[in-house]
Structure 1
Amino acid sequence: MSNSLLVRRAAVLGAGVMGAQIAAHLTNAGVDTVLFDLPAKEGPADGIVLKAIANLAKLSPAPLAAKSLAGAITPANYETGLDQLRDCDLIIEAIAERMDWKQDLYKKIAPFVNDTAVLASNTSGLGINKLADVLPEQLRHRFCGVHFFNPPRYMHLAELIPATTTDKAVLEGLETFLVTHLGKGVVYAKDTPNFIGNRIGVFSILSTIFHTQQFGLGFDEVDGLTGPLIGRAKSATYRTSDVVGLDTMAHVIKTMGDTLPNDPWHAFFKSPAWLDGLIAKGALGQKTRAGIFRKVGKDIMVLDVDKQDYRLSDRGAAPEVVEILKTRNPAEKFAKLRASSHPQAQFLWALFRDLFHYSAYHLADIADTARDVDLAIRWGYGWKLGPFETWQAAGWQQVAQWIAEDIAAGKSMVNAPLPAWVLDGRAGVHTAEGSYSPTDNAVKPRSDLAVYRRQRYPDPVLGEQFDPGQTVWENDGVRLWTDGDGIGVISFKTKMNTVSDHVLNGIQEAIGLAEKQFKAVVIWQNGEPFSAGADLAGALGLLKEGKVAQFEEMVANFQRTSQRIKYALVPVVAAVRGLALGGGCEFQMHSARTVAALESYIGLVEAGVGLLPAGGGLKEIAVRASQAAGSNGDIFAELKKTFETVAMAKVSNSAVNAQELGLMRNGDKVVFNAFELLHIAKAEALALAEAGYRPPLPARAIRVAGDVGIATFKMMLVNMREGYFVSPYDYEIAERIATVVCGGKVDRNAVVDEQWLLDLERKHFVELAQQEKTQARIAHMLSTGKPLRN
């Protein structure tokens, strides 16, 4: 049997927060999905599920890639709908975390599950083997645990937990489906409570709570220390707990206390008194508007445990500790933290020491390799480095010795010894050949499952190097490289992949070389963003020095670059992930095809900095409207769809949404696993080339909406200005955008060419750029990262 799991239809059992969002993400991926729950006591029998589907549109961040997808989910209930399970290939159970309830449900559905379907429990910590006990013999080899992290659309991690009876081919099929179709990073976990991510992640939170008290720190102080300063999420520790929900937090802690009686750290697996107190008062965090933090007017208040009341949240990381954390060399940084007498530095050393101690002690019971632990924590908790990577980067032997000394001196949370392998003279757990497995006492390489061949650059762990490909040509802005497969890849070298003169000239040069040497070109970046747009600082510099001619030439060069992409003799495919703003959006609009990762945030955002798109974006909108309207359709109706997107500087919240907004074409591809983006973009590029690609013929007869179109847009804009939806300056910018997309003050249905539209774009762009208000907007964006509404 091949390791493919063919999923035509899927079912999700349980329409709670998790179940509904898993159903949403299956639907994002184009899987026909049935969502089940109990029959409603009154109203329609599927009422509970219908309500859950309606609620998906209200959740933020959005579980659905486009709101319209909600209608594709089929509602069902366990009384009248079980027949629908017969044609489901994958069934994911996501009901409440109670063993008896889950087992009862399995008994109920078993007669309806077909002979090849896979059944998986999305439990966050219940025993998979115990759940499997109640299944009929023929279903046991097709059952396992699959633990999605919340929110399932955005969190990369999916833990796969085999039961002892699970068939290997079933696991490989499910793994392949999760990786390619749902875009997940799969980590195999052993059947132990809380699996890998939450076992280590929740321990880290409990240890933070313990050390906060031990070192007498405030919750706001700890959040100042345990966020981006140490490579973790902005919401740090306590703010994250508020977001997750303090009741959920307490439940997970209780699960650890109940299910891990023999863990040496068991004494710490209980909620602190202040947490129980908040829950008793109904202060559960963000969902009740009060938890560890709460907002009073404009002030953020934080719980002060000693006073048993809230105080202003005004403490953060101490300057001298911030200085230590800025140390580039991790070994020096850890030595300084350990040697410092500052309570915040001592707190951080203690936090890392106990995390390393716990992770090493339990590695053999919970995971196959150290890589699985590091990736689980990075993908599930958003840390830049996992615990073992952090330790290894800081100098494995030295840190191990310090931990051993602290254990001997009674400073660590418990006195359990470090495993012998930690102290065997190794330099770490990750090597170029693979990562350490204590069970096998050997280094194990990554999985050789076929699906991973689609990842040219997987997410690397410390010490992993991937072949950079062969450089064909480069300048200060871009690198053109190849794998010898007949395809050239253009990657940017600037910060945030912004577009500078070097990038513009580099793209033009690279495409010229590619036309002679390659079948096709892909524009792709290793990581995010695709491009944050034009280099604003450089542009503002030219304007401040009054170099208007040079500024205009830069805009003209931008337009030449977009046109060079569009009219290249080989297909140019844009491989987009993350932000593609301004010029980044325009490059993908001019490519032969865009292949975008689902999490692509695309927008023509120039209006936000007082400008309008002038890298050919508005010209392309006018061209597409003319093509869509045909010889006698309504051009204005076509323009209207995209005009507001540009005038309001809207950014898509997914690649699917970018298609709805008219920034991507319907024929463009959406990819679910960002690590497969390059593979799929190359396949698209090659398919275009093999089909005898020719660039489009120059658009010489573009029908435009003209003065009537401009007047109609102005009426819409006046209403928005009168209703204070836009500022007077926003109105002026939007009016110019309308003028360009309508082809200027010409007759309605007049015919113009591309150059006419490009000249209009450039003229209005240069005029706007010289306005004081625009320069103020650019300066404000550069200094604060936020738009100014002047």
Structure 2
Amino acid sequence: MNRFNPKKVAVLGAGVMGAQIAAHLVNLKVPVVLFDLPAKDGPKNGVVTRAIEGLRKMKPAPLGVADDAGLIEPANYGDDLALLGECDLVIEAIAERMDWKRDLYARIAPHVAPHAVLASNTSGLSITQLAEALPESLRPRFCGIHFFNPPRYMFLVELIAAPATEPAVLDGLEAFVTTTLGKGVVRAKDSPNFIANRVGIAGMLATMKEAQRYDLGFDVVDDLTGKKMGRASSGTFRTADVVGLDTMAHVIRTLQDKLSAETDPFYASYETPPVLSALLEMGHLGQKAKAGFYKKAGRDILRFELESRDYVPAGQKADEVYSRMLAKPAPERLKLLRHATGPQGQFLWALLRNSFHYAAVHLADIAETARDVDLAMRWGFGMKQGPFELWQQAGWLQVAQWVQEDIDAGRALSKAPLPRWVFEGPVAEAGGVHTPEGSWNPGTGRFEPPRRLPVHERQLFPETVLGASGPRFETAGRTLHEDASLRLWTLDDEVLIASLKTKMHVISPELAEGLQRGVELAEQQFKAMVVWSGDEPFSAGADLQSMLPAFMAVGVAAIEDAEQHLQQTMLRIRYAGVPVVSAIRGLALGGGCELAVYSARRVAALESYIGLVEVGVGLVPGAGGLTYIARRAAENQRLSTHKDLLAFLTEGFTAAAMAKVGTSALESRQLGYLLDSDLIVANKDELLWVALNEARTMADNGWRAPLRRPFPVAGRNGKATIQGQLVNMRDGGFISIHDFRIASAIAHVVTGGDVDAGTLVTEDYLMKLEREAFCALVQHPKTQDRILGMLSTGKPLRN
């Protein structure tokens, strides 16, 4: 089939998942119609309109901009089925009931366009059985599509073919989901709960079983099975609360109903844990019901106790010795846990043994290759490594021997032996399932490379599994300069890439010097320069920690010199002889935001969080951020018939004074940190490809730096107006005296200081005001307390 690029999508079902899938589509400018049953009372679309309104208040926010909820078109099955004929993709996302889904298919089939793709968003129902409810003509265009909750944030999408699904349909849908929706796609076999939920929920059940065996509390288990184990920070029981205990129970029930002791040697381990049954019976369904394995009582966190069927204080932590074990390299870590004598160590080994055992036995049934399992667990359950990766890293045959010994001794969840391919043949010889040639497919008995579609060419450095081949951005291309803070390199000898290497990519004096060196090099030898660091964050800001020793030794003059150097770096980037493009992913705060806004263009991943946050450490933006706000206000006013400059300045001032951060690239655009001409990219792995293309295009189209020109400021009258509002906030107790002091300094800079309204000023003039305000504040004791508080705790101090 030709490139699949739906002009309009229908989502059937306005429940939690359906509404959020619709929200993610409008985030990415895909027109969407959201269907549900006609309301029994009031307007026929009442069910859908209430769901759409609910999206505005939902946390985490499914919409990049809350007002975009209005872009979702409401519809109902009674009056609007004809709208399906306008849609190129129909995603069914109603409740996980086979009979309900099949009934709906019979109803909608006559209205689905003859070219459209129909996909069921199911977490584990049989795609083959669902397809049987469709007419023969529609079956080649039908498949399963499993978004993980919440759809905006979870990277994994599983695609599942039905027996008659045309390969081109699945390929086209994968390309759309990858580039337009920004997801990582894994093809799963049509088995109960597919890959991630099959392995993940079985692992959660095993964790609950082992926790009971070793008599460990939920809080201790979550401490052990969170970040310390390289998994999601919420651990096991907290994750269950977030997912919803009723949702978890449904997935467990699918395993119980669709499998048996004859078809799955782990079937006995799918029994619903007594504690989960008790919570379900009590209606304690997790976070959405404000009670599950945990509940909040005021500021206290309580955990459920099965014996009393009541809640008791939580907060217990794991023994420190096991925290240290989990920090060891994989071979040493597993050896220590394998031979641990304490219950927490034995518990951890049991979890790892069970995960290796389960993944190996079920690999052939649920996935094509071991790579699909590992990526599914990374992307769907927040693991740093999938089970096969960790097993291979720890020593394949040694770990396999330990697992088989436990199976033979009756300590494992099942008596099923590890498959023969674990100990014999290519896997044993290679020392694992992942090799440079590809990952193990037990069905074909070969190591198979990843599927390559045209869409994958956009991913220059795709995420890979341990042991696989593939270029690494840290060493790829040709390096022209590298030091501890920065690497300057190129892939094509046309665009220079500047990759920040400092911790959290903070902008130190050395890094600023390196960026200036990069601009000079790009002007001499390249068409353009792209600032891209390969991973998150883009930059957490200026390196305050490196400034403190100079401040203590020399005084405020050292700070002023450092700030002036940062400002000169920003201006060097803005007025470079070649376009400088910032490729932003994750945080771009403070100096990182300033680096972005002084670039010729920004290419931002959807999940980019941009803002000037210096108020949090008692400072004002000092590397050109306030100058940018004043200049942009003047530029926007010049394009308008509205003559009041202050009206254009207010939003920028407020964003800086309140340290507002865009909670998506879309919201960052509303705050003025991204412009309409900037690009927003859905898939993080395509960011560099888009940025390089944009930089080349700008250069090839004759881009030139803007001319340096003075611009008007709001002056003392504008400052007086802002100051009056700040006085009211201070006197009303909404801001502290020190917050008032900082906000007043921001107002002084963005309005141009003690000048008349409309006075023309230069960037150099405003940057001098910035430095003066920054240096005055850095000497204030309350600011110093804020800086030290942030450096020691990572959290802002409000004083």
User: Normalising by structure 2, what TM-score?
Assistant: 0.97
How far did 1:722 drift? 2.6
Question: Aligned equivalents of 1:776 and 1:314: distance in 2?
Answer: 29
Q: Which residue does the alignment assign to 1:603?
A: 611
Is the Cα–Cα contact under 8 Å of residues 144 and 163 in structure 1 kept in the other structure? yes
Gaps of 5+ in 2: none
SS at match of 1:137: coil
**Alignment coverage as a number of residue pairs:** 787
Q: Which residue does the alignment assign to 1:394?
A: 394
Question: Aligned equivalents of 2:552 and 2:732: distance in 1?
Answer: 34
Determine which of 686, 690, 697 is the counterpart of 2:696. 686
Q: Which residue does the alignment assign to 1:409?
A: 409
Post-superposition Cα deviations, 1:255-305, rounded to whole Å, max 9, x if no partner, equal: 211111121111121222222112222222212222111222322111233
Question: Aligned equivalents of 1:168 and 1:283: distance in 2?
Answer: 43
Is the Cα–Cα contact under 8 Å of residues 56 and 67 in structure 2 kept in the other structure? no
SS at match of 1:69: helix
Gaps of 5+ in 1: none
Q: Which residue does the alignment assign to 1:340?
A: 340
Determine which of 659, 662, 682 is the counterpart of 1:649. 659
Question: Aligned equivalents of 1:471 and 1:725: distance in 2?
Answer: 52
How far did 1:487 drift? 0.6
Question: Aligned equivalents of 2:548 and 2:659: distance in 1?
Answer: 20
Partner amino acid, structure 1, of 2:514: G
Post-superposition Cα deviations, 1:710-760, rounded to whole Å, max 9, x if no partner, equal: 111112212222332211111110111111111111111111111101101
Q: Which residue does the alignment assign to 1:466?
A: 471
Q: Which residue does the alignment assign to 2:93?
A: 94
What is the root-mean-square deviation of aligned Cα atoms in Å?
1.1
Q: How does 1:747-766 map to 2 (within 5 A)?
A: 747-766=756-775
Q: Which residue does the alignment assign to 2:168?
A: 169
Q: Which residue does the alignment assign to 1:234?
A: 233
Is the Cα–Cα contact under 8 Å of residues 528 and 696 in structure 2 kept in the other structure? yes
- 1:779 is the counterpart of 2:779: no
Q: Which residue does the alignment assign to 1:423?
A: 423
Question: Aligned equivalents of 2:643 and 2:442: distance in 1?
Answer: 69
Q: How does 1:521-540 map to 2 (within 5 A)?
A: 521-540=529-548
How far did 1:476 drift? 2.3
Post-superposition Cα deviations, 1:201-244, rounded to whole Å, max 9, x if no partner, equal: 00110000010011111111101100000111111000111111
Partner amino acid, structure 2, of 1:384: K
Cα distance change of structure 1 residues 317 and 744 upon mapping to structure 2, 3 Å threshold:
same
Is the Cα–Cα contact under 8 Å of residues 38 and 78 in structure 2 kept in the other structure? yes
Is the Cα–Cα contact under 8 Å of residues 12 and 94 in structure 1 kept in the other structure? yes
- 1:707 is the counterpart of 2:716: yes
Q: Which residue does the alignment assign to 1:669?
A: 679
Q: Which residue does the alignment assign to 1:726?
A: 735
Partner amino acid, structure 2, of 1:295: K
Partner amino acid, structure 2, of 1:15: A
Question: Aligned equivalents of 2:645 and 2:209: distance in 1?
Answer: 65
How far did 1:314 drift? 3.1
How far did 1:40 drift? 0.1
SS at match of 2:541: coil
- 1:624 is the counterpart of 2:624: no
Partner amino acid, structure 1, of 2:691: A
Question: Aligned equivalents of 1:204 and 1:148: distance in 2?
Answer: 20
- 1:273 is the counterpart of 2:274: yes
How far did 1:306 drift? 3.8
Post-superposition Cα deviations, 1:134-171, rounded to whole Å, max 9, x if no partner, equal: 21111110000000000000000000000110011111
Post-superposition Cα deviations, 1:424-476, rounded to whole Å, max 9, x if no partner, equal: 22301111221111111111111220100100111121023415111011232
Post-superposition Cα deviations, 1:634-670, rounded to whole Å, max 9, x if no partner, equal: 2100111211111010111100100001111121111
Is the Cα–Cα contact under 8 Å of residues 573 and 598 in structure 2 kept in the other structure? yes
Q: Which residue does the alignment assign to 1:634?
A: 644
SS at match of 1:200: helix
SS at match of 2:304: strand
SS at match of 1:675: helix
Determine which of 491, 500, 511 is the counterpart of 2:508. 500
Is the Cα–Cα contact under 8 Å of residues 707 and 745 in structure 1 kept in the other structure? yes
Partner amino acid, structure 1, of 2:53: A
SS at match of 1:394: helix
Question: Aligned equivalents of 2:373 and 2:524: distance in 1?
Answer: 47
Q: Which residue does the alignment assign to 1:554?
A: 562
Question: Aligned equivalents of 2:10 and 2:675: distance in 1?
Answer: 31
Is the Cα–Cα contact under 8 Å of residues 567 and 622 in structure 2 kept in the other structure? yes
Question: Aligned equivalents of 2:752 and 2:437: distance in 1?
Answer: 59
Question: Aligned equivalents of 1:454 and 1:788: distance in 2?
Answer: 43
- Which stretch shows the higher mean deviation, 459-468 or 378-387? 459-468
How far did 1:183 drift? 0.1
Cα distance change of structure 1 residues 580 and 303 upon mapping to structure 2, 3 Å threshold:
same
Is the Cα–Cα contact under 8 Å of residues 302 and 313 in structure 1 kept in the other structure? yes
Is the Cα–Cα contact under 8 Å of residues 370 and 436 in structure 1 kept in the other structure? yes
Question: Aligned equivalents of 2:340 and 2:485: distance in 1?
Answer: 42
Is the Cα–Cα contact under 8 Å of residues 25 and 32 in structure 2 kept in the other structure? yes
How far did 1:603 drift? 0.8
Question: Aligned equivalents of 2:73 and 2:746: distance in 1?
Answer: 42
Is the Cα–Cα contact under 8 Å of residues 220 and 316 in structure 2 kept in the other structure? yes
How far did 1:546 drift? 4.6
Question: Aligned equivalents of 1:113 and 1:521: distance in 2?
Answer: 47
Partner amino acid, structure 2, of 1:316: K
Q: Which residue does the alignment assign to 1:447?
A: 451
Q: Which residue does the alignment assign to 1:75?
A: 74
Partner amino acid, structure 2, of 1:41: K
Q: Which residue does the alignment assign to 1:294?
A: 295
Is the Cα–Cα contact under 8 Å of residues 278 and 306 in structure 2 kept in the other structure? no
Question: Aligned equivalents of 1:440 and 1:563: distance in 2?
Answer: 58
Q: Which residue does the alignment assign to 2:218?
A: 219
Is the Cα–Cα contact under 8 Å of residues 729 and 735 in structure 2 kept in the other structure? yes
User: Normalising by structure 1, what TM-score?
Assistant: 0.98
Q: Which residue does the alignment assign to 2:311?
A: 310
How far did 1:592 drift? 0.6
Partner amino acid, structure 2, of 1:270: E
Q: Which residue does the alignment assign to 2:365?
A: 365
SS at match of 2:95: coil
- 1:46 is the counterpart of 2:56: no
Partner amino acid, structure 2, of 1:737: I
